[in-house]
Structure 1
């Protein structure tokens, strides 16, 4: 007997409609260097510093919203790992001055889709950095063995929270999050 897995409509819509923004973001210097086997500690550090600058205001917005305990928001926050990878104080790193709108519940859900999804890719990146002999991997390793279960938990919660009334806002927020993060990472 085969088991058919059901993918909620919101996840299909998010994946399809944000694909161009996801693909554009992946064309950054860090990912290109990984693909070309030319990643360096300097390139990795620049990328991590940019991620930190985006994650700090994003995570601050998450903390301002009243999520239930099932969302495990504190566990999902990972910006604090980046200064450990970079061996610097977080206050030394610039913050993204122009964040996407993260005021409403659907906007937060869309942004969370982007950042929670990045934890899956982070596992692959951590292995590639290890292969390249680069130690800055705590952020990318993030949740370790809990990464998959946390992603599945998020997907379930997102599917329950998405409604016909807010689905378009969730998708628009995910697209805006990808675009804003991409612009910030590419900014010199």
Structure 2
């Protein structure tokens, strides 16, 4: 199954990204406000660079099957950024030529989307931790709560679409796109942490 291969063959990059995105601090409820703003900056910048082109390139049949428009994260991230008084004008500039975007194929596009959808999979659990931290009182965490109670169902549906549209012969394209997307996110994270004063 392609979902199992994606999980196992992106594991190293996934772990590196979790470290860069302060997952330990989130789960231990020790995340600072500045660290949260850094996470927001990475996610918002990544989605600004990736989401419009990726979503626009999807085959209409697959887009309809996924309910793709309802999977856009930019509105929620912009809401969270405004609440956290995060100014996108201060984000580091990243040349799109430094990034690797998916090929115009269903397998590659679904591999890239696997990373973005997977990033929200733990959203409800993360949100439950964040709302327990006193200095986050009043924030809505729209991104982490984006699918609400439908989170598990939407993830399962996405997995089923992966299995239908990624044939064994196209599996490597899907895996390559997923790993490239993790690399993109790690690049953005490094730039934000290295040159953006949160």
Tell me the TM-score range normalised by the shorter chain.
0.7 to 0.9
Shift of 1:67: 3.1
Shift of 1:156: 0.5
Q: Which runs of 5+ in 2 are unaligned?
A: none
Q: How does 1:30-69 map to 2 (within 5 A)?
A: 30-61=22-53, 62-68=55-61, 69=64
Q: Is the 8 A contact 1:49 1:82 kept in 2?
A: no
Question: Cα distance 1:29–1:139, how it changes in 2: closer, same or farther (>3 A)?
Answer: closer
Larger mean Cα displacement after TM superposition, 58-67 or 78-87: 58-67
Corresponding residue number in structure 2 for 1:99: 99
Q: Which runs of 5+ in 1 are unaligned?
A: 1-8
2:156 to 146, 152, 170: 152
**Greater RCO between the two (CA within 8 Å, min separation 6)?**
2
Q: How does 1:1-188 map to 2 (within 5 A)?
A: 9-28=1-20, 30-61=22-53, 62-68=55-61, 69-87=64-82, 92=89, 94=91, 96-97=94-95, 98-105=98-105, 106-133=107-134, 134=136, 135=139, 137-187=141-191, 188=194
Question: Cα distance 1:162–1:138, how it changes in 2: closer, same or farther (>3 A)?
Answer: same
Instruction: Give the secondary structure class of the aligned counterpart of 1:123.
Output: helix
Shift of 1:27: 0.7
Q: Distance in 2 between matches of 1:28 and 1:91?
A: 20
Instruction: Give the secondary structure class of the aligned counterpart of 1:166.
Output: helix
Q: Distance in 1 between matches of 2:157 and 2:66?
A: 8
Tell me the TM-score normalised to structure 1 length: 0.86
